[in-house]
Amino acid sequence: MSALAPLTIPPTAAGQVVFSATDITKSFGPVAALSGVSLELRAGEVTALMGENGAGKSTLLKIITGDYQPDTGTLTLHGGPVHFGEPRESRTAGIRVIAQEPEIIPHVSVAENIFVGLLGTRGPIFRRRELIERARTALAEFGFAGVISPEALGSELSAAQRQIVEIMRAVVDHPAVICFDEPTSSLGEEEAAILFDLIRRLRSDGVAIGYVSHRMNEIFRLADAITVLRDGRLVGTKRTEDTDHDDLVRMMVGRDLSQMFHREPVTPGATILSLNGVGNEFVHDITLSVHAGEVVGIAGLVGAGRSELLKTIVGDFAVESGDLGVGGKTVTFHTPADSVAAGVGFAPEERKAEALIMQRSVRDNIALAVLGQISRGRFVSSTREEELAHGFITKLGIRTPSDRQLVKNLSGGNQQKVVLARWLATKPRLLLLDEPTRGVDVGAKAEIYAIIDELARAGVAILMVSSELPEVLGLADRVYVMASGRITGELSREDATEESILALAMD
Amino acid sequence: MPTQTVSTSSPTRVSPADSPGFFRRFLTAMGVQNMSLLMAIAFVVLVIGTQNPLFFTVPNLKVIGTAIAISGLLAVVQTLVIIMGGLDISVGSIAGLASVTSAMIFTSAGPLIGVVGAVGIGLLCGLINGCIIVFGRVNPVIATLATLAAYKGIAQLISDGRAQGYTGADPFFVFLARGSVLGVPTLIWILVVIALGIHVLLRYTTMGRNIYAVGGNDVASRLAGININRYILGIYMMTGAVAALAGILITARTGSGQPVSGSEGLELEAITAAALGGAALKGGKGTIAGTILAVILLGILTNGMTLLGVNSFWQNVAKGGLLVLAVVLQQLRSGERRIGLPG
Amino acid sequence: MPTQTVSTSSPTRVSPADSPGFFRRFLTAMGVQNMSLLMAIAFVVLVIGTQNPLFFTVPNLKVIGTAIAISGLLAVVQTLVIIMGGLDISVGSIAGLASVTSAMIFTSAGPLIGVVGAVGIGLLCGLINGCIIVFGRVNPVIATLATLAAYKGIAQLISDGRAQGYTGADPFFVFLARGSVLGVPTLIWILVVIALGIHVLLRYTTMGRNIYAVGGNDVASRLAGININRYILGIYMMTGAVAALAGILITARTGSGQPVSGSEGLELEAITAAALGGAALKGGKGTIAGTILAVILLGILTNGMTLLGVNSFWQNVAKGGLLVLAVVLQQLRSGERRIGLPG
Amino acid sequence: SSGMEAPGESGAAGGKKDGPLTIAYLQKQGDQQYFVDEAEGAKAAAKELGNVTIKVVNLGVDANKAISEMDSVIAQKVDGIIIVVPDQQIGPQVLDAAKAAGIPIMASDDVIQDAAGKDAPFAGFDGTAMGTKVGEEAARLYAESGWTAENTRILSAGKLDLSVCNQRMDGAAAAFTKAVGADGPQTIQIGTDNSATDAQNKAGAVITANAGVQNWVVWGCNDESSTGVVTALQNSGVSPANINGVGLGAYLTCKDWSAGQTTGNKSALYISGVEVGRAAVTSMVDLLRNGTALPPATIAKTEIVDAGNWKEKGVACT
Ligand SMILES: Nc1ncnc2c1ncn2[C@@H]1O[C@H](COP(=O)(O)OP(=O)(O)OP(=O)(O)O)[C@@H](O)[C@H]1O
Ligand SMILES: Nc1ncnc2c1ncn2[C@@H]1O[C@H](COP(=O)(O)OP(=O)(O)OP(=O)(O)O)[C@@H](O)[C@H]1O
Ligand SMILES: [Mg+2]
Ligand SMILES: [Mg+2]
């Protein structure tokens, strides 16, 4: 019993509404996350859900899955009204939502992670080998065979692999409705391509699909219809063919967005960061340099070791061979505390696991790395802290009712902005950014790019890892490409193109 | 607080070629945890055995087995609770309550009803724990700390703080305490059966896997459609029932129902064994095999030191020291990164 | 600002108009947790006070204050450890060890060196705990369970299990035990000073913020440049020192150094108070104010029930029941969703 | 097996053993001062008698551990067992086990009986008798002070779920009532964990509740309990002259006397653990070497001591 049955076709004919949410309202205390929002999902169609960070997209999806209950409004499935008090009720009804933050069970296998919640459907006996085989088959069927082992433990997975597990969990038992919440924000190009194939296949099989993303090009590649939210309200729904990039941005942001990237050629200053043959368990023989005023990109496929390289630089992983120089001096960072003291900022990739103190306030999180600087003696100065937090809330457009809001209550994109704010606040001379715009909306992205450019012109050296090639191409003065923990090439701004980068990344 | 921080160190990208070697596979199957415990047991056995060969005699092994039966039972269910992400500090009190009630019911209605009644009370106590946690939204530690006091008080009240009844002449209770089947004492059989049962449950049933899922990440489990409240209630009831069984065995061994003596402090022993056996107090991790090895290690340590005539003050020092040593060994061998608070 | 693009509208959707009312603001400042505890205290005080007005007399308030001083000290530091994401089960043993050593050193070298020596031993014990955790990579629960046994054994060994010395005639120890400043007993002053100090530390200093951060997410804290190992070591040493102070107070109150009596079981009391006061055992959450309220609630409960002549068995039942009630109230008022394991 | 097989009537009678002897001394609360003394007395006697090893085992207050350790020493084939049970109800189990193994056994400190109600050989001073002596002394002090029932209360403190505490405290109450008559002062029981600090805390509340009382008679399950209550009384402003505290053990009460303090701890029952341990081991060795039957009851040296005579009575004050 290892072969998976082909996807069953839901009874609804293509184009018909399978699921709808009507006039949904939802508030969290004083925050109105949704007011009077409606959404329709049609069989065999992808409906994109767009809007700025904090517009209410994830909240809507959580209502659809039964994780939250709406304050008012109704849900219908196959024409009949439904009420989901618990996620298991929506699951039983054939609805799956892929959450924005993948939730992984750390100490069990990928296979069990994929089939969690479905184990009991084949009787009370758990057959490990059979489940592994089923998972292997399913991974192969959906195109993820080489990306992830069904026997690996949840705790060993990279961000991309966790996202894939989360996706597999939703698609594996042929639901009628699937909603994706920013599934590509932690995927590389390769995995994203697999995912798009998967979504097209689901669509041709008649599944009704909802799709949240901040990446315009994905939307135009995939979506049949686009629903836009702003400030928790419905702006409108359009067929993809009736709209274009600028129109969408206008619907989302409320005005035109003139230019995404602005970067003028620079004359690099002194060498701020230099690696000479640096190696350890994760990366090998890395030689690179970043100069003051430069934005240097690191490109590569997921798993190339880019994040590990940044962590090695800041002292989270030990440098086992080679030399690390910062500001012209050879240094040894025993822990990240040393690198922070040396003026190195590092915004890690995984905001939930590695960056944010979820149950603390926005203010605390922004001030975390500069507490020493905003304190008087050993006492934290509340006014300076507030100034600092308010400054960044305004500058980055962090959508929060107050600087006292707990970070766990922010939308994903706004959480990412808090991470950036923390490191901008340190006024570093070297800033390492790992996927800095993960889950950030178009408007805010442009804002962040402008800030990066501004910092560079003020003399900060910036080393940025990104899986979004347009971002690398648009911002970086130079690009290093990594594969299997090694640098496989260095490209100047002029030589860097999608093709040249991918060629080196495939090494 | 549903956030479960997943360490993101080194993911495994699969190539079909890299199948691990046999030794590595064996180690993985056994678990670093268990290997270290086995080594610690071997070490202690060797040291004690060379000092006093009596240690190896069959009667002494039986003594060790029967001595660990009761704390072993509690350690095994505690492991279950811990894997699910909870903790049950009230087990000792439930055992005490079950001990007196079994003896009191026995005195008036015979052994069978005594046993059934006590187990029923254990189930009820577990249900109460579960309800306080699930519906009262009380952290499991506080909830069971509170019922630790409450159940103890009830046991003292119904018994007036005194040992109750006399079961030392009843064939059934005597069989529990001193009987044997195929030369192996009944007490050991009971531990083996329950431990095996829970081992099978955890390892080979979907229920067991769901328990790991709930403990590993309750948000993921809930979103995946697992009825986690039902699991929490069920496990606490199961724990209550096994704690009651332990109480009945205390009655059988001591010949009378003991409201407090014999069960006070068992919770710490059980938690120690589960944690030493590799159960992570954050949930989602642990095995019955590890716990049983830990129970055996602690059991032979106590037995051996008494056998060698080690002064009870030194015993405390040695026990503490050896515990640290065993775990440090475990951790160093597992090669975890030395960062932050160990889980 | 060269090429500017968009600036996102108003960062927050909360208009200045709907600022929360005063009562809401007060509630938030006070915390739901603390409000419920205050209500529980008010309820208990009312019930006991109407039954026996003597409860309100100044001498009785002093009795309550001095009775909670020692467990209060331990609860306060335990809160600190819990916020940081750890746990220290060895505090009772450290207190016992400090109690005997303070009396023994006092006997040969006077009160000052006695106190300094005992605190030094507490610091050393804390350092050992911290090192086992940080460098041995041992889970804090097992590490301190192990040292609980070890320190107790050492205290028994050096004292041969006997109460040591006599401090009842020494002015300094008598001042600690029975003296008062401005009409308030010294014991209460000590608790107030330490609690206030730790409150200020947690709330207003960078160190305190970092402690919350380490408990909330140790990986993030490390990457943000916090030297978490140093924090863990420091907090455990601080805990050791305060536990030693508690031990010295035990010596002062009983007039002699007690290796075990009076300090055994204090760890559970401390953890109960911290958890009841709202400290999350997963770390990152908790306040000294909450813990102190919890200590007071537990203290007046014990005092009141004894005052009313409630039998000690009923006291257990009532204490367990009230504990559950207080926390259930807390949780229901906080409006958390009733799903899964409460944190 | 069913576990019900009748034990072989092999040993129990003892006999002439010439070689080295091992005697197990199982003690409840082995970390308490009295029992530490007892173990030392036992070892001292063993040394004097020669070629005897004493194996001391601490049972805590755990009845179940008592059974485990019984099994353990039986498996180790010790020559004789002396036991202080944590709970007297386990007597039959303990005696059966020893009988089945053919190992002679005697009880120490707390009397135990077999299933038929027959007392085992015993060395020590049983709980009720100790309580009786304390109660009698308290009555004597009460009469001497010339207090009346109206202005006096009795505080009796100890761990109420320990059978031995109940016996001691009940014994004291009974003896007191017997001596002063049924119209004596009212008794207030205070449940504690047997530590001095807990006694102080709990007594504080009781003193509040009895604000008008002038004079106090105090006793408890152990020295910790009685001295804790006396300290609480003195802290609340009661003069030592208005307190008649009778300790049990004398190891803490002696400290006030040794320092020459005026104290409400007027006297104490001195129970010499050393003597009990010595006597028990001596009898056991006599049985094993010479076949002399164990004496049914060896009562060790116990007497009331006070500030004036504690030194000469041999109380060791650490
Ligand atoms: N549990 C909660 N408590 C309080 N506020 C919340 C909670 N969950 C969401 N919000 C708020 O509701 C609003 C909508 O959040 P939501 O997560 O739906 O945004 P989103 O559109 O998914 O944004 P993003 O693109 O950043 O993921 C935000 O202002 C957020 O702060
Ligand atoms: N076959 C393998 N076995 C073990 N570890 C591997 C294997 N392949 C890759 N890795 C590790 O997994 C890591 C993947 O981490 P991660 O995905 O964060 O890398 P990355 O290049 O930063 O990609 P991204 O940041 O886009 O996710 C690699 O750096 C590498 O060390
Ligand atoms: Mg979102
Ligand atoms: Mg990465």
| Tens digit of each residue's pLDDT (9 = 90 or more) over D148-186 | 999 999 999 998 888 888 889 999 999 999 998 888 899
Cβ-based burial of A304 (10 A; exposed 0-12, middle 13-18, buried ≥19): buried
Looking at the domain A17-253, which fold is it?
Answer: Rossmann fold (3.40.50)
Q: Which domain holds residue B220?
A: 34-330
Q: In this structure, is residue C18 part of a structural domain?
A: no
Instruction: Answer for the pair B137, C332: CB distance below 8 angstroms, yes or no.
Output: yes
Residue C83 pLDDT greater than 70, yes or no: yes
Q: Which atom of ligand 1 is nearest to the CA of A232?
A: 14
The predicted complex's ipTM stands at 0.85
Chain C positions in Cβ-Cβ contact with residue D259 (cut-off 8 Å): 166, 168-169
pLDDT band at C340 (very low <50, low <70, confident <90, very high): low
pLDDT, position C32 = 65
- Name the pLDDT band for C7 (thresholds 50, 70, 90): very low
In a domain, residue C132? The reply is yes
Q: Phi/psi class of residue A375: alpha, beta or left (left: φ > 0; alpha: ψ in -120 to 50)? A: beta
* Pocket (CB within 6 angstroms of ligand 2): A 158-160, 188, 282, 300, 302-308, 349, 465, 467, 485; B 10-13
Distance (Å, whole) CA B119 – CA B197:
17
Q: Are B235 and B87 in contact (CB under 8 A)?
A: no
Asked whether at least 3 C-beta pairs link A and D within 8 Å, the reply is no
Once rounded to an integer, what is the mean pLDDT over residues C172-189? 90
Is pLDDT of C30 > 80? Answer: no
C252-264: string of b/e by CB count within 10 Å (b at 16+)?
bbbbbbbbbbbbb
Which residue is associated with the tokens 């080196």?
A: A504
Describe the strand order of the beta sheet including A31-42 as a list of residue ranges.
Answer: A31-42, A17-28, A72-77, A80-82
User: Can you read off the two tokens belonging to residue A129?
Assistant: 């080998």
Check residue D215 and give its pLDDT.
94
Split into its structural domains, chain B has a count of: 1
Question: Average pLDDT for residues A139-149, to the nearest whole number?
Answer: 89
Residue in the block written with tokens 């040992």: B163
Q: Is A213 left (phi over 0), alpha (psi -120 to 50) or beta?
A: beta
Spatial contact of B250 and B262, defined as CB atoms under 8 Å apart: yes
What confidence tier does B15 reach under pLDDT thresholds 50, 70, 90? very low
Chain centroid to CA B146: how far?
Answer: 20
Calpha distance C234→D252 (Å, rounded): 37
Distance CA A192, CA A169 (A): 17
Atom 5 in ligand 2: residue holding the nearest Cα: B12
Whether A409 is in the pocket of ligand 1, judged by its Cβ within 6 Å, is yes
d(CA A247, CA A256): 8
- Contact (CB, 8 A) for C31 and C278: yes
- pLDDT for res A257: 66
Are D156 and D172 spatial neighbours (Cβ–Cβ below 8 Å)? yes
Q: What is the pLDDT of residue A146?
A: 82
Q: What's the rounded mean pLDDT across residues B20-38?
A: 66
Q: Taking residues A240-261, report their average pLDDT.
A: 81
Distance CA C303, CA A14 (A): 73
The phi and psi torsions of B331 (rounded to 5 degrees) equal -70, -40
Between residues C91 and D295, the one the model is more confident about: C91
Question: In B, which residues are within 8 Å of A112 by CB distance?
Answer: 209, 212-213
Pick the ligand that lies closest to the CA of residue A57. Answer: 1
Structure tokens at C289: 């104010």
Q: Give residue D231's identity as a one-letter amino acid code.
A: T
What one-letter code names the amino acid at A210? Answer: G
- Report the separation in Å between the CA atom of A49 and the middle of ligand 1, taken as the mean of its atom positions: 14
Pocket test for ligand 2, best of A147, A161, A302 (most atoms within 8 A of CB): A302
Strand partners, D22: D53
Q: Give me the half-sphere count of Cα atoms (radius 13 Å) on the Cβ side of residue A117.
A: 29
Mean pLDDT of C60-87: 92
Q: Is B25 domain-assigned?
A: no
Per-residue pLDDT tens digits for A446-470:
888 988 998 899 899 999 999 888 8
SS3 (DSSP) at C49: helix
Q: Are D197 and C250 in contact (CB under 8 A)?
A: yes
The CATH code of the domain that includes B153 is 1.10.3470.10
**Cβ-count burial of D280 within 10 angstroms (0-12 exposed, 13-18 middle, 19+ buried)?**
buried
Block residue for tokens 């230099």: A274
- Measured in degrees and rounded to the nearest 5, phi and psi for residue D54 equal -105, 130
Q: Which residues pair with D54 in a beta bridge?
A: D23
Judge whether B19 is closer than 8 Å to chain A, CB to CB. no
Amino acid D274: pLDDT: 87
Residues of C in contact with A316 (CB under 8 A): 222-223
CA angle C97, C102, C105 (to 5 degrees): 120
Provide, as residue numbers in chain A, all residues whose Cβ is less than 8 Å from the Cβ of B11.
Answer: 152, 156-158, 161, 303
For chain A, the residue count is 507
Q: Is residue A405 lining ligand 1, measured as CB closer than 6 Å? A: no
A348 Cβ inside 6 Å of ligand 1: no
DSSP classification of residue D86: S
Tell me, yes or no, whether C23 lies in a domain. Answer: no
8 Å CB contact of A105 and B206: no
> For position B336, what pLDDT does the model report?
65
Distance B215 CA to ligand 4 centre (A): 27
Q: Are strands D265-271 and D302-306 parallel, antiparallel or unpaired?
A: antiparallel
Please tell me what DSSP assigns to residue B9.
S
How close does chain D come to C177, measured CA to CA in Å? 9
Residue among A181, A212, A17 at smallest CA distance from A102: A181
Q: Which two tokens stand for residue A355?
A: 């960056």
**pLDDT band of C27, cuts 50, 70, 90:** low
The helix/strand/coil state of D214 is coil
Q: Which residue from A minimizes the CA distance to B222?
A: A87
pLDDT at C40: 86
Cβ–Cβ contact C213 with A under 8 A: yes
Give the pLDDT score at C23: 61
Closest approach atom of ligand 1 to CA A52: 25
> Contact, C199 vs C48, CB < 8 A?
no
- Ligand 2 mean position to D310 CA, how many Å? 78
- Cβ atoms within 10 A of the Cβ of B16, count? 8
CB contact under 8 A, B136 and C331: yes
Contacts of C1 in chain A (CB under 8 A): 450, 454
Partner-chain residue, chosen from B1, B9, B206, that has the shortest CB–CB distance to A126: B206
Inter-chain touch A126–B6, beta carbons under 8 Å = no
- DSSP code per residue over A427-458: --SEEEEESTTTT--HHHHHHHHHHHHHHHHT
Domain membership flag for residue C22: no
Q: What is the per-residue pLDDT across B135-172, written as a single tens digit (0 to 9) for each? A: 888 888 888 988 998 999 999 999 888 888 888 888 88
CA-to-CA distance for D272 and D250, rounded, in angstroms?
A: 9
The CA–CA distances, whole Å, from A153 to A112, A382, B211 equal: 9, 43, 16
Residue C339: inside a domain, yes or no?
no
Q: What are residue A143's phi and psi, to 5 degrees?
A: 95, 10
Residue C177 has what pLDDT?
87
CB contact under 8 A, C225 and A356: no
Strand D215-220 relative to strand A225-230, pairing: unpaired
Which residues are in the CB-under-5-Å shell of ion ligand 4? Answer: A 307, 349
* CB–CB contact A371 C285 (8 Å): no
Facing residue for A107 by CB, picked from B212, B224, B227: B212
Partner residue opposite A356 with nearest CB, options C3, C220, C222 = C220
Contacts of D190 (CB under 8 A, 6+ apart): C306, C312, D155, D156, D157, D158, D199, D202, D203, D206, D225, D229
Q: What's the token pair of residue A396?
A: 């980055």
Q: Residue B221 corresponds to which tokens in the numbers above?
A: 């489990």
| Alpha-carbon dihedral angle through residues C319, C324, C327, C330, given to the nearest 10 degrees | -110
| Token pair belonging to C12 | 């927050």
> Residue type for A333, please?
F
What does the DSSP assignment read for A408-420? GGS-HHHHHHHHH
| pLDDT at res. D48 | 92
What is the arithmetic mean of pLDDT over A384-388? 91
Res D9: pLDDT? 45
The pairing of beta strand A329-330 with beta strand A321-326: antiparallel
Residue nearest to atom 23 of ligand 2 (CA): A302
CA–centroid distance, A253 to ligand 3, in Å, is 16
Is the Cβ pair A108, B216 closer than 8 Å? yes
Query: How far out from the chain centre does Cα C259 lie?
Result: 21
pLDDT at B13 over 50: no
pLDDT mean across residues, chain C: 85
> Which of C108, C36, C97 shows the shortest CA–CA distance to C277?
C36
Kindly state whether residue B19 falls inside one of the protein's structural domains: no
Contact status, residue D67 vs residue D89, Cβ threshold 8 Å: no
Distance CA D154, CA D168 (A): 15
Q: What angle do CA C321, C322, C324 make, to 5 degrees?
A: 70
Bridge-based pairing state of the strands A430-434 and A344-347:
parallel
Beta carbon of A406 within 6 Å of any ligand 1 atom: no
Closest by Cα among D38, D23, D90 to D61: D90
Which comes out higher in pLDDT, residue C196 or C110? C196
In a domain, B335, yes or no: no
Q: What's residue D75's pLDDT?
A: 86
Mean pLDDT of C246-269: 87
| Nearest in space to A180 (alpha carbons), one of A190, A75, A192 | A192
- Residue A380 to residue C221, Cβ atoms within 8 A: no
- In this predicted model, what pLDDT tens digit does every residue of B267-314 receive, in sequence order? 888 988 998 888 887 888 899 999 999 999 999 888 888 888 888 788
* Enclosing H/E stretch for A82: strand A80-82
- A323 DSSP β-pair partners: A276
Name the CATH code of domain A257-343+428-507 (choices 3.40.50.300, 1.10.10.10, 3.40.190.10, 3.20.20.10): 3.40.50.300
Higher pLDDT, D2 or C65: C65
Cross-chain Cβ contact B63/D68 below 8 Å: yes
Does residue A245 have a pLDDT over 50?
A: yes
CA geometry: angle at D231 spanning D229 and D234, to 5°? Answer: 110
pLDDT band (50, 70, 90) for residue D37: confident
Handedness of CA C267, C268, C273, C278 (dihedral sign): positive
**What does the block give as tokens for C108?**
């040969």
Domain ranges of chain A: 17-253, 257-343+428-507, 357-427
Query: Which DSSP symbol is given to D146?
Result: T
> Strand order in D52-60's β-sheet?
D52-60, D21-28, D80-83, D105-108, D122-124, D297-299
* Per-residue buried b or exposed e for D148-177, using 16+ beta carbons within 10 Å of the residue's own CB: eeeebbbbbbbbbbbbbbbbbbbbbbebbb
What separation in Å is there between the alpha carbon of A149 and the centre of ligand 2? 14
**Chain D residues near residue B186 by CB distance under 8 angstroms:** 3
CA of A307 to the centre of ligand 4 (A): 4
